[in-house]
A and B are shown apart, each in its own frame.
Chain A
Amino acid sequence: MRPGSRRGTTYGRIAALTMTAALLAACGGESADTDAGSGGEGGSDGPVTLTVATFNEFGYEELFTEYMELNPDVTIEHKKAATANEARDNLNTRLAAGSGLSDIEAVEVDWLPELLQYPDQFMDLSSDSVEGRWVDWKVQQATTTDGKLIGYGTDIGPEAICYRADLFEAAGLPSDREEVAAALGSTWDDYFALGEEFMANSDVPWMESAGATYNAMVNQLEFPYEQEDGTVIATENPEVRALYDQVLAASANGLSAGLSQWSDDWTSSFQRDGFATMVCPSWMLGVIEGNAAGVEGWDIANTFPGGGGNWGGSFLTVPTQGENQEAAKELADWLTAPEQQIKAFQSKGTFPSQVEALESEELLGDTREFFNNAPTGEIFSERAQAVEVVTFKGPKYSGINDAMQQAISRVDVDGTDTPESSWEKFVSAVEALG
């Protein structure tokens, strides 16, 4: 709660352990514990063992081998969590305990608002060698208000619009990706207007859900929920209310399929012509390809309403509780350099955040057969450069945004509330966070 710099004391250690034990015992399962880190022996001169904690797929396996060959003194132990949530629970618990973290901890951009409240826990990674390495907004996400950089950017999720060309054609709209990009226009009003046009000649809903679209929209506001000093303005901000009304009006007009993202209905809708367009960060391509296997017609329009947008992406941090911080920083520096990140992209498709990587031949030449051979490298590189606004995310951002998503979902997916009554519930949910 309290933004401050209370460090992990003995109390904190005991607290974390007992609370984990007590509360998790009560919850049954949901264990946040993994094996304790064993790295950290050895001084700065001798052989060093560095532990690196990642989750999902960072595509670093081969890079670790390469680094160990280049630096015979360094042994890298890779701890890979199966899910981001598991990694997050582990990180939080060990931060509170004051020990047990890996020398390098990968974090997702969504965790940063709360981690930035405790800048003392992380090494300041800013240095001349990394100056200008990333697109500006990526650096800004991991920088504290007083200019400390707590994480090196790895990948990003620049957003485009994915659409079903066959459904567009059936509804009498242009289906070629350049034409669609032009028809989609540049604002969300244009996007919804084209949706109305589409719906006039089609039974398929225009978009997956109001919530997913809202999420993209709110990420284009600079101060949606909180002011820089932490004052919560979410419930009074006319911009937020305007987005809420706009997206729910579209939903009321039948543009939304009312499918909450990642639900089973959502997953199976890809096989049933569930919707015609979706907000599409670079990593979503794999998801669509998997869910829509066998479905033909998916394509990508090189445009994004309301300016550019980004969804997701990760960073490498160096916790100050580690014993080999300098060596860890060197490794993190090397891993997030453009040359290495391109290799990770080739290995697992993580879209790089480094300016040089975004302009590299390897990336720009990338295409995807499933999306009608769309030049994905070119499209998303351009989408990454189009991002202008970095939303301010204070400590309460994720709580407020969760409440907002639920508010929209009550109207759009469940149909249990009117926009007005759901807004009132949102207001009281935001108050409860206090």
Chain B
Amino acid sequence: MATVTEPAPSTTPTPPPGKSLPLTRRQRMSALDVKLSPYLYISPFFILFAVLGLFPLVYTLWVSLHDWNLIGGKGEFVGMANYAQVVQQEFFWRGMRNTFSIFLISGVTQTLAALALAAVLNQNIRAKTFWRMGVLLPFVIAPVAVGVIFNKMFADQNGFFNELLGYVGLGPVAWHAGVLESHVAIATMVNFRWTGYVTLIFLAAMQAIPTELYEAALLDGASRIRQFISITVPMLRPTIIFVVITATIGGLQIFDEPRVFDQTGLGGSDRQWMTVTMYIYELGWGPTKSFGRAAAVSWILFLIIILVGAINFWLTRRIASGDSKKVAAPAAPAPTQAAAPGAGAVASAEPTRKAAAANNDAKETTS
């Protein structure tokens, strides 16, 4: 700061307020404080983001444009050749197929199961806290440990599930040979881990739904199931959207569970369950040791996640605007306090039955 060149400030008497007089050093600093400080306070996040998020992202792009070996380092500039090479690979597309398939199987069942579980936990049951903590237990187990246990259960010849199926007279399922079978097995591991977590998010949102709605429904003679479908689910919509978006981002990067699904970790002898992230790992750290290609696939995956995220966001807007007249639903997906108290108060009287109608409206507008 150029404070040295200023005239000595302290000796002069305090000037009367007016535009023409120069500000004192203290005043200047104060003005600077007001203007600059907020940015300084939030800067650690952005500095960290730039170092740990933005820089690697851009650098990965730089790497993807080169012939780049894990050990040998940077080679020639090859432009888009890495991208062209990988999109021609059958394994790349198989990875895409598997990633989306596992994501859909696990995402759909997980959300439905979590909704049902949360609804049960939201009832006035005994030992509430015990059950609520209980559903979160699988979440604290390391994914690799989950993999080891489930691998024993999903073993093709002597596994627990196949033995169980044998008792009810069903033939053994080739968990490690079939495409769909392996995806179901992996989705089971993923769900085991995440369902409890999602359940708690739903539960928190459910508890924010005003009880007046249920009381009104009760007076109208609505059954428990009807209440769930017509009040709980519509009021949870922002939360569901949040869960779906985070599940998308996580689900498209799924790695641990499929990687430990067999001993080689390549995703099956016909790459039945090799996901995109496993393909990235294989390209970069496997026999080819090609960081260039691994970086290219990383960037493609990044763009796909952005694309899917954008589609999600667009859907969110459509759904939000679709029922904004009836329920003042927040436009952006909020993780907690999804149904804002204000929204409930405004909507408390009428939307009991209309909420369902709004739900249908939204579906029509999006399709």
Contacts and interface: CB of A to CB of B under 8 A. Distances in A.
Interface stretch (B116-124, B129-137, B195-203, B293-301): B293-301
A400 B287 CA distance: 8
A27 B294 CA distance: 12
Nearest to B143: A29
B155 A425 contact: no
Contact of B262 (A7, A12, A16, A263): A263
Contact of B72 (A4, A23, A410): A4
A1 B59 contact: no
Interface string A1-14: 11010111101101
A26 B155 contact: no
B199 to A, nearest CB: 22
Secondary structure type dominating chain B contacts: mixed
B269 A414 contact: yes
A117 B285 CA distance: 16
Nearest to A29: B256
B351 interface: no
Interface in B71-92: 71-75, 89-91
Given A19-B63, A28-B253, A29-B255, A265 B156 contact: yes
A406 B157 contact: no
Q: How big is the B interface, by class?
A: 35 or more
Given A22-B60, A26-B280, A414 B177 contact: yes
A260 B70 contact: no
A23 B294 contact: yes
A416 interface: yes
B69 interface: yes
Contact of A413 (B177, B259, B285, B291): B177
Secondary structure type dominating chain A contacts: helix
B68 interface: yes
Given A28-B255, A29-B255, A6 B287 contact: no
Interface in B264-308: 264, 266, 268-270, 277, 280-281, 284-292, 294-295, 298, 301
Contacts of B264: 260, 402, 405
B151 interface: yes
Contact of A260 (B71, B262, B292): B262
Given A265-B155, A413-B177, A96 B71 contact: yes
Contacts of A93: 70
A269 B156 CA distance: 12
Interface of A: 1-2, 4, 6-9, 11-12, 14-16, 18-19, 21-23, 25-30, 89, 92-93, 95-96, 114-115, 117-118, 121, 259-265, 268-269, 272, 396, 398-400, 402, 405-407, 409-410, 413-417, 425, 428-429, 432-433
30 contacts: A1-B69, A4-B72, A6-B72, A8-B73, A12-B74, A15-B63, A15-B291, A18-B60, A19-B63, A22-B60, A28-B255, A28-B277, A30-B255, A92-B289, A259-B157, A264-B155, A269-B157, A399-B287, A399-B288, A400-B287, A405-B264, A406-B266, A410-B269, A413-B269, A414-B177, A414-B268, A416-B178, A417-B270, A432-B91, A433-B288
